[in-house]
């Protein structure tokens, strides 16, 4: 199975919808393919909140247009993995019934609960689901933006196997993911930077998981126009300017 065929399985893998044979083949490929790890991470970011959209809405015109362009046979600007992400986005927008039913049932349970602990537990669940829904909506807003740009970040000499991907909208914000980052030394943190014509500006402080992966969403800071994105390792709490070697770097 070629790389393009395997890449097209990323969306189904994120939804745990592959049969045993395809799943085994894809996971073997995934172990050595940072690009496919990023496609899975991008899809899961939105898919995690698919059932939890609070209100039914029509897909934004810009998003519908972008998806239709992506699936058109005449359109080749988007990679094959975009199709999986596009499907996840449409499902996230349309999949509102499950959340509505859950919220109604949970509200009824809260009303009928006999103990304060039951009430508090259900309210905590609802709060967590609301947070997931907010994250999904923010991701959709970024990916539907008219000014969306995608930037690939490459590993630098300090971390040649690492890769990253930024979806940047100056009006909506930043969706960023990275894979294969080295483990952090004690008391250190990864710091993501907007590289501007004037000086680098801190975007976020992040701690990857045990496999060196993370995904984040953050709002676009006012007055910042990046020409590139970069990542360094800095002391816990971060610094106002990079002090160490670049681990990831990518420009527009």
Q: What is the pTM assigned to this prediction? A: 0.61
Mean pLDDT across 63-69: 53
pLDDT number for residue 12: 73
- Phi and psi, residue 42, nearest 5°: -60, -45
Q: How far apart are CA 39 and CA 44, in angstroms?
A: 9
- Phi and psi, residue 214, nearest 5°: -160, 160
pLDDT number for residue 118: 64
Mean pLDDT across 106-114: 56
Strands (E), 97-199: 149-155, 163-169, 173-179, 188-195
pLDDT number for residue 124: 72
Residue 126 buriedness (CB in 10 A; 0-12 / 13-18 / 19+): middle
User: Does 169 have pLDDT greater than 90?
Assistant: yes
pLDDT > 90 fraction of the chain, expressed in percent and rounded: 41
pLDDT number for residue 49: 46
Q: What is the pLDDT of residues 176-231, one digit of tens each?
A: 999 999 999 999 999 999 999 999 999 999 999 998 999 899 999 999 999 999 99
Quote the tokens at residue 129.
């689901």
User: Does 140 have pLDDT greater than 50?
Assistant: yes
Q: What is the DSSP letter of 29?
A: H
User: Does 80 have pLDDT greater than 50?
Assistant: no
pLDDT number for residue 56: 43
**What average pLDDT does the chain have?**
77
Mean pLDDT across 81-108: 52
Mean pLDDT across 68-96: 47
User: Does 74 have pLDDT greater than 80?
Assistant: no
């Amino acid at each position: 199975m070629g790389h393009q065929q395997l890449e097209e399985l990323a969306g189904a893998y994120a939804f745990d919808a592959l049969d045993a044979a395809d799943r085994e083949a894809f996971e073997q490929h995934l172990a050595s393919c940072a690009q496919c790890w990023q496609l899975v991470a991008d899809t899961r970011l939105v898919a995690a909140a698919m059932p939890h959209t609070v209100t039914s809405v029509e897909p934004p015109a810009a998003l519908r247009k972008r998806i239709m362009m992506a699936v058109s046979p005449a359109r080749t600007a988007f990679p094959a993995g975009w199709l999986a992400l596009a499907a996840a986005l449409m499902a996230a927008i349309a999949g509102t019934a499950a959340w509505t039913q859950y919220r109604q049932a949970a509200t009824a349970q809260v009303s009928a609960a006999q103990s304060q602990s039951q009430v508090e537990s259900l309210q905590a669940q609802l709060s967590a689901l609301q947070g997931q829904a907010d994250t999904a909506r923010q991701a959709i807003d970024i990916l539907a933006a008219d000014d969306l740009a995608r930037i690939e970040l490459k590993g630098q000499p300090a971390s040649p196997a690492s890769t990253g991907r930024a979806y940047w909208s100056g009006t909506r914000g930043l969706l960023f993911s990275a894979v294969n980052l080295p483990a952090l030394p004690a008391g250190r943190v990864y710091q993501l930077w907007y590289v501007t014509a004037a000086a680098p500006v801190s975007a976020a402080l992040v701690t990857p998981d045990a496999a060196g992966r993370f995904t984040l969403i953050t709002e676009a800071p006012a007055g910042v126009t990046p020409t590139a994105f970069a990542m360094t390792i800095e002391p816990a709490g971060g610094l106002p300017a990079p002090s160490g070697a670049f681990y990831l770097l990518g420009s527009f």
